[in-house]
């Protein structure tokens, strides 16, 4: 039976951890230079409605290193916007490919594509979720701190796709998580309650998943301070309003002065300097954003192996 990765909750706790462990194995392979190629002869089709640097490169390079081949398609290269339905596109792609990666706006489009496709579909980002990014981020946090059960991750900014996926990452990974957003930009209650429920099923009452609108209070016990752009792709017309609404939620030295020692700063990139984060923080010794970006390759390879190796 084919599997998809549309949100992190398509995985159970054991599968989530298995992908992290496989990512570690692939990172060790990179050090030795002895790369395994379990996907030899397999082909990944990649559809991009949104621009991409890290997602495209990590999947394309990862597929190559695994022995397979990746085909990049800008959405305009296909017939999706020229009369062909998602259902028909899914069936055609299933005839040629072993897997589909799609990066688009609407989560419903990915769900519909996966429903009709006979091959695995991977969410490379939508406005609602970014599961591949957060799998890699949890990998990076675990690599840094080793034991996730003692870690408190605080997200400061917009309750967007990254924030939603961090809730799911906490539910499966077993760490405390606070989403600190302006009230108007908070994630849905459904997202929060669902993550709390799944985390309790997986780990009991050991951890905390919650909302906040007070950045200073939120970061006081944080090990990880995570932020993302306030103006995501497609929201450019809202920029002036959002810059006003997010005043006080910038990750800067003043905010970080309230943290305890041994914290790290994360950002999925690209960063809008002097908006959600200041350049001195982005390039500081506490920042691990480039390690975070590098690890995308190893975890993307683990995702590909998990979904495509047994197809």
Q: Which residue, 5, 7, 6, is CA-closest to 171?
A: 7
Q: Of 130, 223, 242, 267, which residue is the catalytic one?
A: 130
- In the 8-state DSSP scheme, what is residue 186? P
223 part of the active site: no
268 part of the active site: yes
Q: Which residue, 18, 26, 3, 4, is CA-closest to 102?
A: 4
- In the 8-state DSSP scheme, what is residue 52? -
130 part of the active site: yes
Distance (Å) of CA 140 to CA 59, 70, 216, 299: 17, 25, 24, 10
Burial class (CB in 10 A: 0-12, 13-18, 19+), 202: middle
Q: Of 133, 196, 199, 300, which residue is the catalytic one?
A: 133
- Rounded (5°) CA angle 4-306-224: 85
**For residue 143, what are the contacts with CB-CB under 8 A and spacing of at least 6?**
24, 291, 295
228 part of the active site: yes
Q: Of 10, 259, 296, 300, which residue is the catalytic one?
A: 296
Q: Which residue, 125, 90, 130, 53, is CA-closest to 297?
A: 53
- Rounded (5°) CA angle 273-279-285: 140
146 part of the active site: no
Q: Of 103, 223, 242, 267, which residue is the catalytic one?
A: 103
Other Cβ atoms within 10 Å of 8 Cβ, number: 29
Cβ–Cβ under 8 Å, residues 73 and 124: no
132 part of the active site: no
How many Å apart are CA 9 and CA 59, to the nearest integer?
21
Q: Tell me if the bond preceding 243 is cis, omega within 30° of 0.
A: no
Q: Of 259, 268, 292, 300, which residue is the catalytic one?
A: 268
Cβ–Cβ under 8 Å, residues 49 and 171: no
Q: Which residues are catalytic?
A: 103, 130, 133, 228, 268, 296
């Amino acid at each position: 039976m084919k599997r998809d990765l549309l949100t992190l909750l398509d995985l159970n706790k054991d599968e989530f951890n298995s992908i992290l462990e496989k990512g570690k194995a692939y990172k060790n392979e990179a050090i030795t230079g002895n790369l395994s190629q379990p996907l030899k002869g397999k082909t990944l089709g990649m559809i991009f409605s949104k621009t991409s640097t890290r997602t495209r490169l990590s999947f394309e390079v990862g597929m190559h290193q695994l022995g397979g081949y990746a085909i990049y398609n800008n959405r305009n290269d296909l017939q999706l916007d020229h009369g062909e339905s998602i259902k028909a596109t899914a069936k055609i792609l299933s005839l040629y490919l072993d897997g589909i990666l799609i990066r688009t706006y609407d989560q419903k489009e990915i769900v519909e594509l996966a429903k009709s496709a006979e091959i695995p579909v991977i969410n490379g980002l939508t406005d609602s979720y970014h599961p591949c990014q957060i799998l890699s981020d949890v990998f990076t946090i675990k690599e840094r701190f080793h034991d996730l059960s003692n870690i408190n991750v605080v997200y400061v900014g917009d309750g967007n796709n990254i924030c939603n996926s961090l809730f799911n990452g906490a539910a499966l990974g077993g760490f405390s998580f606070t989403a600190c957003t302006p009230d108007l930009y908070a994630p849905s209650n459904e997202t929060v309650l669902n993550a709390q429920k799944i985390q309790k099923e997986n780990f009991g009452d050991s951890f905390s998943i919650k909302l906040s609108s007070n950045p200073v209070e939120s970061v006081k016990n944080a090990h990880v301070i995570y932020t993302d752009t306030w103006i995501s792709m497609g929201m450019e017309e809202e920029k002036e309003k959002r810059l006003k609404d997010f005043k006080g939620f910038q990750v800067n030295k003043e905010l970080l002065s309230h943290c305890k020692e041994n914290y790290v700063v994360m950002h999925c990139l690209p960063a809008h300097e002097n908006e959600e984060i200041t350049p001195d923080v982005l390039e500081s010794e506490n920042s691990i954003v480039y390690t975070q970006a590098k690890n995308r390759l190893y975890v993307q390879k683990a995702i590909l192996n998990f979904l495509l190796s047994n197809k």
